[in-house]
A and B are shown apart, each in its own frame.
Chain A
């Protein structure tokens, strides 16, 4: 289907048509000096005229010379916090005369419309779909949110120094997995449609056919992102190279720099580890089992019989990296990394997984 054109001023219509359909629109906003995803009501809440500058261990917002609404790359949030919420109730238990009565939680799952999903993030959602929906057990919390969500992707027109989606074959062009995909130009958006729900919504918007100039401008804006990507990760044979080097000295060396702070796992759009907590009322007669995000960097994560299996930082860093880049292939048929660069940016000591991989593989060749 050929793309359409939506004038900039009409983006508010897109928000309203989504809200008419019962969606809570989640989009980029500025919060705590970063671009974070939150519910938005008007396009004035978007980070108009701001961009992010990223490097290993560093993230900073900066004014742009123009008024772009989506002129940034990715921030510390990812959409996983909406599809796989940091806290979710799995079950409740109530004490009755006949013993404990266990119930599934009753919830009206939220209907989210995501505005501003990048190509690497579409890939990350696809990866979490495989984890949560396509294995022998389906995660009902994820499924309820995922089936009801509407995805408005936005093509990148620039890249950060930390991006390596081209190495992971996930971007920067949005190819699939969206309902609508936008490319931002100074005067408006080129709109592509990726689903029936997308075309239904599109039909309610004041779009027109784009001019030849607009089509070319969108193409070169997208090309600009490709050209800006500097970082590379060679993924040839990466699974074997990592899994046959579990005793490589580099793990120890990385373990000495890593603070085991869990930042990388929290910002990663595909990391899915969790733990379950018991939340009880004072009398302990009504209990909720609550699932919370956890991280393989936490010492307790691997505790068995009172002793952690991964009892040093090096073993935990190795677990994270080998899971992400190697054993994910065995488990889910793809890499667990989409090349978004978040773990590089948000690591307080600037550990860069592409460098760690290169170091380990350097000795292998």
Chain B
């Protein structure tokens, strides 16, 4: 460490803080306040090398405004543009929403853990999502659709506040055709809605299970939704070790160095965002942790 010989070392080339320049190739308006931005790398080498695993996220950077953690909602087999589905919230996401096609921003990533696809092969899989919790699971849906034979039954349980805020409605037919059993619910009904009304965990309460012991449940959404989904799953006899969830905390660095995303002993950015529920269980019920 302390050697005169090494005083003027060159700085290492790999810098996790350095964003790549990307442009908005296409924008898909999803529902009110939510759009999918298809981002393209400017640097051809970055474009060639970029890969991610379902569940991972990027830091999207709007210079002069700030960075936000945004999950990839893209097809992991894609290789030209990378989809990010973003709900307009505060400064960063509002600035993003004002950029049109061709707009320039920064991207660094991918970061974090991924959904345990390898462990789910040959098993029954239930994906549970609430509201803006679906985008981080969409890469899983793409992946399953491409490798459907490798899984037993696959169900997607998805809910939003109102029917018109359900994301990706244009894709539902394709998912169903690919052999995915899709169940939808809305907290409040609306015109023309003949799906279920109520919170997402109720869908799980009612879902027939072929074999609870070999069923995996992966979930993403508000923490209350996660809590009740876990309760429902455990009640249905699904082993605690088969439950996985994606967590959210304030993030500044995404590399476990800024301290913001801590939840008990975990750095959500680095050890998560996808965690086995067992690891989160001691901390989820503690208020203000």
Q: Which residues of A does B touch, CB under 8 Å?
A: 21-22, 90-91, 93, 95, 98-104, 109, 111, 129, 131-132, 135-140, 143-144, 146-151, 178-179, 195-198, 200, 243, 246-247, 272-276, 278, 280, 284, 287, 289, 294, 296, 301-306, 309-312, 314-315, 318-319, 322-323, 326-327, 329-331
Contact = CB atoms under 8 A, between A and B. Distances in A.
A21 B5 CA distance: 11
B66 A276 contact: yes
Nearest to A251: B288
A139 B12 CA distance: 10
A273 B259 contact: yes
Of the listed residues A100, A195, A311, the one surrounded by the most CB atoms of chain B closer than 10 A to its CB is A100
Contact of B257 (A91, A272, A302, A310): A272
Contact of B18 (A91, A136, A310, A319): A91
A309 B288 contact: yes
A315 B289 contact: yes
A111 B286 contact: no
11 contacts: A101-B21, A103-B18, A104-B17, A111-B7, A137-B255, A179-B2, A274-B252, A276-B253, A284-B63, A303-B250, A304-B248
Interface residues of B, number: 52
B19 interface: yes
A327 B256 contact: no
Interface of B: 1-4, 6-9, 11-12, 15-21, 23, 42, 61, 63-67, 89-90, 104-106, 248-250, 252-253, 255-260, 262, 264-265, 267, 270, 282-283, 286-289
Of the listed residues B1, B249, B289, the one surrounded by the most CB atoms of chain A closer than 10 A to its CB is B1
Given A137-B16, A276-B67, 12 more contacts: A100-B105, A147-B1, A149-B2, A197-B2, A246-B286, A280-B64, A296-B259, A302-B250, A314-B288, A315-B289, A323-B262, A327-B264
A331 B265 CA distance: 7
B5 to A, nearest CB: 8
Of the listed residues A196, A280, A310, A331, the one surrounded by the most CB atoms of chain B closer than 10 A to its CB is A331
A178 B65 CA distance: 42
Contact of B23 (A99, A310, A331): A99
A197 B256 contact: no
B4 A243 contact: no
A163 B25 CA distance: 59
Contacts of B61: 93, 102
A178 to B, nearest CB: 8
Contacts of B259: 272-274, 294, 296, 323
Contacts of A303: 250
B264 A132 contact: no
Contacts of B21: 98-102
Given A100-B21, A100-B105, A137-B16, A274 B258 contact: yes
A319 B289 contact: yes
B288 A100 contact: no
A143 B1 CA distance: 10
A203 B245 CA distance: 60
B200 to A, nearest CB: 19
Nearest to B222: A305
A146 B249 contact: no
A200 B289 CA distance: 50
Contact of A309 (B249, B257, B258): B249
B17 A93 contact: no
Nearest to A92: B63
B250 A304 contact: yes
A109 B7 CA distance: 10
Nearest to A138: B12
A322 B65 CA distance: 33
A330 to B, nearest CB: 4
B3 A197 contact: yes
A144 B64 CA distance: 26
Contacts of B264: 243, 322, 327
Given A91-B18, A102-B21, A273-B259, A310 B7 contact: no
Nearest to B22: A99
A59 B12 CA distance: 42
Contacts of A136: 255-256, 270
A314 B20 CA distance: 40
A305 B89 contact: yes
Contacts of A147: 1, 6, 9
Contact of A198 (B2, B262, B287): B2
B11 A99 contact: no
A132 B248 CA distance: 23
Nearest to B249: A304
A314 B287 CA distance: 11
Contacts of B66: 276, 278
Contacts of A132: 257
